[in-house]
Amino acid sequence: MLKKLRSINEWLLANLLILGCTIYMYALLKKEISGFLGSLIGYIVIGVFLITIGLLLWVVPSESNILSSGYAGIDPLFVLAPWVFMFLIPAVSMRSFAEEKKTGTIELLLTRPLSDLEIILAKYLACIVLVILSLLPTLVYYFSVSILGSPPGNLDNGRTWGSYLGLIFLASGFASIGVFASCISGNQIVSFIIAVILCFICYTGFGFVGQYLSSGMLGNFVQSMGISLHYSSMSRGVIDTRDVLYFASISTAFILMTRTSLESRKW
């Protein structure tokens, strides 16, 4: 009887600990989102993203201009967005740990009943939520092009929603890079620059190197290590398990490197 009561108490204690950690993690996630949206820089970053994309799609005469293309589709959005994300996401994530170190609140944060990994995940998820919030207004472009199409609604919906999903996966990879850059630097500007460079290398660097090497097995392998190839695959509206696993792997790799950097304070 005593063993049964002890096992029940242990089960209750374990569940209470899990619930407590979940509550603290949610509170940290909410704090990160509120901190970004509560500052002027948050709205400036999102505003610059929307204005830049809007001008390139509707105003500036170029191949990306939807009105001059004569084709009812928002494919140019998914071509331009990754390049804008290279600056937008580092700007969102640069304050994740760099600001905590600058203000001296990092030690207070680490005393909370959360593991290092849970703290990193809260900041990482906050970045993804903020990116999704900046993407939501672009749905106006989708409905606008759908109305302008001949006949109305003549859009490749599968490709469009696949591209949006690809952008979210792309954002998750860039967010993990941004959080890592913020963790290894105590200066927001430095972390921003590091994140931009790493995002650029991961998005296009492997593709350039792969093309330079050869079109054989080695070149294809190197290209497959880059984000661009997998993002382009998802943008065709085909959700391949290999692409999903790739984005999950790159996010996991940078999150684990962030945890290693955060744990190095104990060494």
What mean pLDDT is reported for the chain? 79
Q: Would you put residue 240 in left (φ > 0), alpha (ψ -120 to 50) or beta?
A: beta
Condensed to tens digits (0 to 9), the pLDDT of residues 87-107 reads: 989 988 888 888 777 777 777
Categorize the per-residue pLDDT at 175 as very low, low, confident or very high, splitting at 50, 70 and 90. very high
CA–CA separation, 45 and 16 (whole Å): 39
Spatial contact of 183 and 93, defined as CB atoms under 8 Å apart: no
Q: What percent of the chain has pLDDT over 90?
A: 15
The predicted model gives 62-91 an average pLDDT of 80
The pLDDT tens digits of the residues spanning 13-33 come to 344 344 444 666 677 777 777
Closest among 213, 65, 41 to 141, alpha carbons compared: 65
Lowest mean pLDDT among 7-16, 195-204, 232-241: 7-16
- Whole-angstrom CA distances from 32 to 38, 76, 120 are 10, 31, 11
Confidence of residue 54 (pLDDT cuts 50, 70, 90): confident
Comparing 154 with 236, which gets the higher pLDDT? 236
For the segment 206-232, what is each residue's pLDDT rounded down to a tens digit?
A: 777 767 766 667 767 777 788 888 888
